[in-house]
Amino acid sequence: MQSEIKVFNCENGEIQRVQVVRWKKWDNLDFMYMDGNENALKCFRDIYANYLVPGCPWVFGNMILFQLPKDSECSFSFKTKKYGNIEDKLTAATIAIKEGVKIVGGRPIFKNKAIKDFWKQLEEKNSVFIVCGKLPYTKVIPVGDYAGYLSQKDVDAAMKVNASFFIMDSFDCASVFDHVGKIFGLCVKDGVVMNPPLYQREAFLVKRDGSVTIKELDVKDLEIEIHGQRFQNGHNATIYTRFETSKTPASPDKKIVVVGRKVVAVKEKGEIVVPASGFVLSIFEHEEESVKISPGYEVTYHGLEDIQFGIQVGNSIIREGKKTKEFISKFYNIRKLEKKPYPPSLYPMDFDNGRAARIALGCDENNEPVLFWAEGAGKLHYQKGVDSTGASLKEMAQIAKDLGMVNAVNLDGGGSAQILLENKRSLRISDRNKQDNSDAERLIPMGLILR
């Protein structure tokens, strides 16, 4: 493995530092899932209170961020009329808070004593917070036990880097099944799909023969197996994702809600909200007699067995040697308040000028791996010519070209962007602590690793 730091000088006197990492074989690259961190709720609350809401207060309402303590009991029903039979207690608690609490003037108003008592239990354990924007609505944001610090996981690894988009902001929490920390987008290793492709976004794919390609993928392209039964979109089922709708039609067909590799809810008939982090499988009525599926069942995906490694996150920056000049993957424009069913991920929409810290993964002309980190501007005490300015997607494309890359996509960037070699950073994280301007590492649910 080779690593180097390059410094690009801008005409206006600003600079951009870039760390470039190269190695030989794709089979060494793997996914790494974080251990849950007990400070996750506070960290995400701080992101809302210090960065997201102050940046766009006019698009946020009154938000309830909560997390279930590990020893907590949930007395709320797992069988609901609106959401069907659900799989986990965090979803049950989310439904209860959504239906039983309203924030008025920054304070909670309770519908009944049961939800008031539950809220009090959360408060006693510092497991619930309120963050208020300018809009009058109340939004519930459940924080799952998925995220941890990249620097604290597998500390002996040769290389670690943040990777996928995950549910984080209030717009991403599009349903009660969407929990902060849930990753979305394709993750495949040695033919096994660990997370399905969504939103027809570009996916970076390495085949078993070592060749590399970038193509748009969606879960509808795959065959879905649950409990020994296989389903295909348009054949014996219909797949609904947030790319086209926020709710399924009110049909008599059975609805299977899937997030990642798990069935999280089953509803016998009617409509159901589509999760941002997954999809709904609606089984054709004449197939339902033989279908016996319950919440908690594992889901297997077929159709990518020839893929050695694959990931689907942000837009491409270079494909087959040609620089990408515009958004190909679709993202919501939060500043224009577009009414779209798919989640925004707060992705900058100015392709040419939207600068940020960024991570790109790709290959050179020999299909060998190349990874680079464009350091972002510090969010406190920025000094022109001393701190990196951050890169736009147009600038990322040019950097990739200069580095000899022929295919590359953006991974998750912004405050999450970092590369650790032997658990050490060579560049600085763009999120900073107010007290001393030191790096403020964000929690993430998953990274990539070279051991």
276 and 182 co-located in one domain: no
120 and 162 co-located in one domain: no
Place of tokens 């984080």: 168
| Single residue among 121, 142, 163 that ends a domain in this structure | 142
Mean pLDDT of 83-103: 95
Structure tokens at 340: 């779209």
Mean pLDDT of 352-375: 96
Phi-psi region of 200 (alpha: psi -120 to 50; beta: other; left: phi over 0): left
Place of tokens 């020994």: 228
| Single residue among 142, 175, 204 that ends a domain in this structure | 142
371 and 348 co-located in one domain: yes
131 and 230 co-located in one domain: no
Position 170 confidence tier, pLDDT thresholds 50, 70, 90:
confident
**Distance separating alpha carbons of residues 166 and 313, to the nearest angstrom:** 9
How, if at all, do strands 307-311 and 202-207 pair? antiparallel
CA geometry: angle 362, 368, 374, nearest 5 deg: 35
Which has the closest alpha carbon to 400: 372, 376, 377?
Answer: 372
pLDDT(64) > 90: yes
Range scoring the smallest mean pLDDT among 46-55, 61-70, 309-318 = 46-55
More confident residue, 397 or 331: 397
Output the pTM of the full model. 0.94
**Distance separating alpha carbons of residues 287 and 276, to the nearest angstrom:** 26
Per-residue pLDDT tens digits for 9-57: 887 889 999 999 999 999 999 999 998 888 899 989 988 998 889 888 9
Structure tokens at 15: 């600079």
pLDDT(155) > 90: yes
| Single residue among 96, 124, 142 that ends a domain in this structure | 142
Say what the pLDDT of residue 287 is: 64
Mean pLDDT of 353-360: 94
Q: Are 327 and 351 in contact (CB under 8 A)?
A: yes
46 and 30 co-located in one domain: no
204 and 335 co-located in one domain: yes
Range scoring the smallest mean pLDDT among 35-44, 113-122, 179-188, 258-267 = 35-44
240 and 92 co-located in one domain: no
Mean pLDDT of 382-391: 90
433 and 354 co-located in one domain: yes
Mean pLDDT of 251-275: 95
336 and 260 co-located in one domain: no
Q: From residue 302, how far is each of 193, 194, 230, 383 by CA, in Å?
A: 8, 11, 9, 50
* Domain assignment of residue 44, given as a range: 40-142
Q: From residue 139, how far is each of 55, 62, 101, 143 by CA, in Å?
A: 18, 6, 10, 13
pLDDT(288) > 70: no
Collapsed DSSP state (helix, strand, coil) of residue 95: helix
Specify the DSSP class assigned to residue 186. -
pLDDT(412) > 80: yes
Q: From residue 274, how far is each of 198, 369, 447 by CA, in Å?
A: 12, 36, 26
**AA identity, residue 451:** R
51 and 138 co-located in one domain: yes
Say what the pLDDT of residue 339 is: 76
Residue 103 CA neighbour count, 13 Å, CB half: 23
Q: Which percentage of the chain shows pLDDT scores above 90?
A: 77
